[in-house]
Amino acid sequence: MKKSFLNSKLEVFSSCILLFIMWEVLAIKIDNDIYLPTLGEVLKNLYEIIRGEYFLINISSTAIRVLVSFSLAFFISIVLGSLSYISSSFKNFIKPINSILQSVPTMILVVLALIWFDKNKAPFIIGISVVFPILYESVLGALNNIDKNIIEMVDIYNLRIIDKIKYIYIPSINIKLIPIFLSTLSLALKVVIAGEIYGQPSFGIGSIIQIEKTNFNTPAIFAWIVIIVIISIGLDYIQKYISKYNYKWRRI
- Which pLDDT tens digit goes with each residue over 31-57? 888 888 988 899 999 999 999 888 999
Lowest mean pLDDT among 107-121, 165-179, 192-206, 233-247: 233-247
Stretch 113-136: mean pLDDT = 88
Helices (H), ranges, the chain: 2-30, 39-51, 55-86, 88-103, 106-116, 122-144, 148-156, 161-164, 170-199, 205-214, 218-251
pLDDT digits (tens, 9 = 90+) for 79-102: 999 899 888 898 899 999 888 888
Query: How much is the pLDDT for 122?
Result: 86
Query: How much is the pLDDT for 221?
Result: 93
Q: For all residues of the chain together, what is the average pLDDT?
A: 84
E strand or H helix at 75:
helix 55-86
As a whole number of angstroms, the distance between CA 44 and CA 47 comes to: 5
Among residues 92, 111, 95, the alpha carbon closest in space to that of 103 is found at 95
Q: Is the pLDDT of residue 179 over 90?
A: no
Query: How much is the pLDDT for 47?
Result: 93
Query: How much is the pLDDT for 5?
Result: 57
Query: How much is the pLDDT for 249?
Result: 47
Residue 146 near residue 170 (C-beta atoms within 8 A): no
Stretch 130-154: mean pLDDT = 83
Stretch 157-181: mean pLDDT = 76
Q: Is the pLDDT of residue 116 over 70?
A: yes
Query: How much is the pLDDT for 150?
Result: 73
pLDDT digits (tens, 9 = 90+) for 5-32: 566 777 777 888 898 899 889 989 988 8
More confident residue, 111 or 170: 111
As a whole number of angstroms, the distance between CA 118 and CA 202 comes to: 12
Lowest mean pLDDT among 29-33, 96-100, 223-227, 233-237: 233-237
E strand or H helix at 55:
helix 55-86
Question: What count of other Cβ atoms lies within 10 Å of the Cβ of residue 98?
Answer: 19
Residue 205 near residue 63 (C-beta atoms within 8 A): no
Among residues 202, 204, 178, the alpha carbon closest in space to that of 66 is found at 204
As a whole number of angstroms, the distance between CA 30 and CA 70 comes to: 41
Stretch 140-155: mean pLDDT = 78
- Our CA angle for 96, 138, 122, nearest 5°, is 60
Residue 127 near residue 73 (C-beta atoms within 8 A): yes
As a whole number of angstroms, the distance between CA 252 and CA 241 comes to: 17
Domain ranges for the chain, please list them.
Answer: 1-31, 34-251
The architecture that CATH gives domain 34-251 is Orthogonal Bundle (1.10)
More confident residue, 59 or 251: 59
Q: Is the pLDDT of residue 215 over 80?
A: yes
In sequence order, the 6+-apart residues with CB closer than 8 A to the CB of 146 are 168, 169, 172
Q: Is the pLDDT of residue 2 over 70?
A: no
